[in-house]
Every structure is written in structure tokens, then in C-alpha cells.
Amino acid sequence: MDAYNATFGTSYDDETVDGYFKDVMNRLRGEDDGPKLDLVIVIDQLLTGYDAPKVNTLYVDRTLAGANLIQAYSRTNRIDNHKDKPWGIIVNYRWPETSKRLMDAALKVYANRESASVQGELDDPGLSGVVAEDFEKTLSVAKKVVNEIRELSDGFTEVPPSENAKQELANLISKYGTKVSQLKQYTEYDYDRPEKLCHELGISEDNDNWINNSARNVLKDWAAKHPKDNVLDLSMLDFDVEHIAEVKINYDYIAELLAQVLNEVHEGKDAQETYGTFVRATDQLEDRRLAGQMKDTADAAMNGEDLNVKYPVHPNSVEELVRQRAKNNRQNAVADFRHHWGLVDVMTADLLIDKMLERHTLDADDLRDGEELSQLLGMATKGRVYKQAAEDSAVRELSPVKYRNEFRAAFREFADYVVAHY
């Protein structure tokens, strides 16, 4: 107890043993602030009434049977999340064959819903889902998923064009992440040699990266660009990515590729190969806004647009170049919106719009938190200014009431677009 106090800054003693045990349990759960416990050694403790979803592995050095076995093993079956902990793990050090026989016998009784009304020895009730499949069987299922992704993506090179195929790929990527998460729970997984699992699955680390980064991001980007006619359900892609090995995205390398694209276009060279390499690299970036801004810069150069930069472009200047172009694009987008809706007081309108955009969060209903939206609408509808100033004839035909309603909806969509892209 003295060592515990010294480690965690507590002051428990013989008179506060109950508080000490409670503190140990809370630290093992990971609930309290401050240092946590990674390993606890217990004897006849924490068997009943203790719920700790983050507890992953139980190391057993005694023979357990019946209800005691079920109570002990159940300490690990609380699921924190299905990605990091798809199931609990039991590591048995003593009499493994006997322990397995005792476990099977206990599960036949306590994992069978009909056990309360059945006397004597039960036949095997089919305990699917109670005990995890062995490593080889789980690996076999994962390899099947990998092969389906390989076939659908032309060897991990491209996202298929049709919406049905895109949906199938999204579902497979989700299954792949689940299976990798499960495989990493087995003792056969070597954390020091993660590439071994790639080899067992029949893929390279680049293939794993394509599945989890490139394809996933391309699908989500496609959905973002087609919000109205998009029928894909990509909710299964909103998870923490489960890479087999640690992936490091080299931003400096991507900056070098972008600089090379710009310079090759400026020099009149064929930049298609470099551009393709650049696109594949940016598809791996988790920051999709930055990826979009970098792609926009490259696309502008490939389309012959004058970027007004000093050549040759150095990789160190790419960040400022991309940032300045994004800033200009945002200003142009605001101006286009203002002209479309007939907001003639440029300085005031830009100031009010910028205030709303600065505090706006994507998909949040926060645009009416201040008075700016009402002031914009007042500017446009006072004297029905929009009927003369709006560039869009359909806007000019709106009644003031319809103008206000459609303006609010349009500005919400516009704000989401700006926040997502700039």
C-alpha cells in the first residue's frame, strides 16, 4: 500500500482499505483522471459485480471450473469498442488441456439459454459467438475479404466507377478493418513484425495502406462531391482505421511531388505520370481539406491556369502557395455567393459572412447564433434591393418571404462547403 501511495500520490492506510480497493478498481477501469493501471494481480478478487470494458486479457494461474470459471472469464468480455477490443483474451498457464475441458463443460451449462430447464449433461449447444474462432479460421475469412477487394479494385489500384460497386467496396473495407482488429488480438500476431500478417493475408503494406487510406478517402470525397444524388451509405467508414503496420504519411514527399508537377507543366513536359503519383499520395492524407487544396493547385496547373508563382517552384514554398490559393478561392466563393443573392454592400456583407464562417462547424446548426444572418437578410430585402442586384434572375423573382427562406438554406449549404474546402 505504501508503494501504491508513492506511485499515485494517494494516502491510504489500514483504516481506509475500502477506499484503496475502490481506487484500484477505478484506475483499472481507466475512468479516473491521472495515471492508470495496466496490470493487476488478484486472488479471489474482482470476480462478481466488477465491470471494466477496457480490461482485455486475463492471465490464469489456477484451475477454475463451473460458476467460478464463468465469473472469472467474464471479466474480459465487456466490449469497450469492437475495433480495439472485439473480444477478451484468456491466457491459461496451468494444465491447458484440463482447463479447456473444464471451460467447455462450464460453457455448455452457463452459455446455453435452455440450461435452466435441462438436467444433467448437455449436448453441444453450438456455442457460436461465445468462444472466438481460432486464428487460422479468422485469417481465412480475412483473406477472402482481401481477395474480394483485390478483384473489385483491379489489384488495389482504383475505386470502381459504379455506385453499386462503390458500396460493395465500402462494405468490404469495413469488414477488412474488423478482421484485422480481430487478428491483432491473437497471440500469433507479432507486434514486432506486423508485416508478417500482411504476408499471411497475401498483401503488401502498401496494399493495406491503399485499403485503409486511399480507397476510404476517395469514397468519402466522392460522396462529399455528390451530396444530392449520392445513394451510398458510407457510415461504416467512420471508424478509427486499423492498420496492420504503422503508417507514416510523408508530407515533404507530397510537397516535392506537387512542386515537380508545377515545374514540369511550366517547362512544357508531360506531367501525367508525376501527377498520378501525386494524386495517389494525397489520397492517403487524413486531412481531407488539405488534400483537396493541394489537388486543386495541381489541377489548376494541369488545366493551364496561370498560378502567378515564381518558377522553379521549390518544395519549401508549396505550403504557402497552397494556403494562399485556398484563401483566394474562399474570397472568390464569397464574392460569387454575394453576387448571386444581390448583397450590394460589399464590405459589410463580407464582414458578416466571414464572422459566421469563422465560427461555423461542418453540419452544425450554428449560423443563427449571432445577429449576422438577420443583418444580411435585412440588407438584401430592405427596399427589395435583391430584385435589382441579384445576378440570378430566379432570385430576383422571389418574394421577400421566399427570398429569406431560400437564402437561409443556401447559406447553410454554402457555409458547409467553405468549411470543408477552405
- Candidate from 106-120, 231-245, 395-409 with smallest mean pLDDT: 106-120
Beta-carbon-side half-sphere exposure of residue 323 (alpha carbons within 13 Å): 5
Instruction: Give the tens place of pLDDT for each residue, 146-188.
Output: 999 999 999 999 999 998 899 999 999 988 988 888 888 888 8
- Are the C-beta atoms of 315 and 252 separated by less than 8 Å? yes
CATH entry, 2-117, from 3.40.710.10, 3.40.50.2300, 3.40.50.300, 3.40.190.10: 3.40.50.300
Q: How many residues does the chain have?
A: 422
Confidence of residue 125 (pLDDT cuts 50, 70, 90): very low
Give the per-residue pLDDT at 345: 83
Element holding 59 (H helix, E strand): strand 57-60
- Asked if pLDDT for residue 411 goes beyond 90, the answer is yes
| Amino acid at residue number 292 | G
Mean pLDDT, to the nearest integer, of 51-62?
78
pLDDT band at residue 258 under the 50/70/90 scheme: very high
Kindly list the domain boundaries of the chain, sorted by start residue. Answer: 2-117, 135-237, 251-313, 329-422
pLDDT at 246 over 70: no
Lowest pLDDT segment from 93-97, 148-152, 415-419: 93-97
Centre a 10 Å sphere on the Cβ of residue 106 and count the other Cβ atoms it contains.
19
Q: Distance between CA atoms of 73 and 88, rounded to whole angstroms?
A: 9
Q: How far apart are CA 305 and CA 1, in angstroms?
A: 71
Does residue 121 register a pLDDT over 60?
A: no
Amino acid at 222: W
Q: Work out the average pLDDT over 203-218.
A: 87
DSSP 131-193: BPPPHHHHHHHHHHHHHHHHHHTTTTT---SSHHHHHHHHHHHHHHHHHHHHHTTSTT--TT-
Digit-coded pLDDT (tens) for 277-321: 899 888 878 788 899 999 999 999 999 999 989 999 999 999 999
Crossing angle between the packed helical segments 372-381 and 346-359, to the nearest 10 degrees: 150
- pLDDT higher than threshold 70 for residue 2: yes
Please report which confidence band the pLDDT of residue 114 belongs to, taking 50, 70 and 90 as the band edges.
low
- pLDDT confidence of residue 212: 85
Amino acid (one-letter) located at 251: Y
Count of H helices and E strands in the chain? 18, 2
Compute and round to an integer the Cα radius of gyration of the chain.
30
Taking the CA atoms of 150, 151, 155 and 161 in sequence, report the sign of the dihedral they define. negative
**Collapsing DSSP states into helix, strand and coil, what is residue 91?**
strand
Q: Where are the alpha helices (DSSP H) in 48-88?
A: 66-73
In which band, very low, low, confident or very high, does the pLDDT at 341 lie, cut at 50, 70 and 90?
very high
Place 85 in a pLDDT band, splitting at 50, 70 and 90.
low
| Residue 31 CA: distances (Å) to CA of 8, 54, 145, 349, 420 | 15, 10, 36, 48, 34
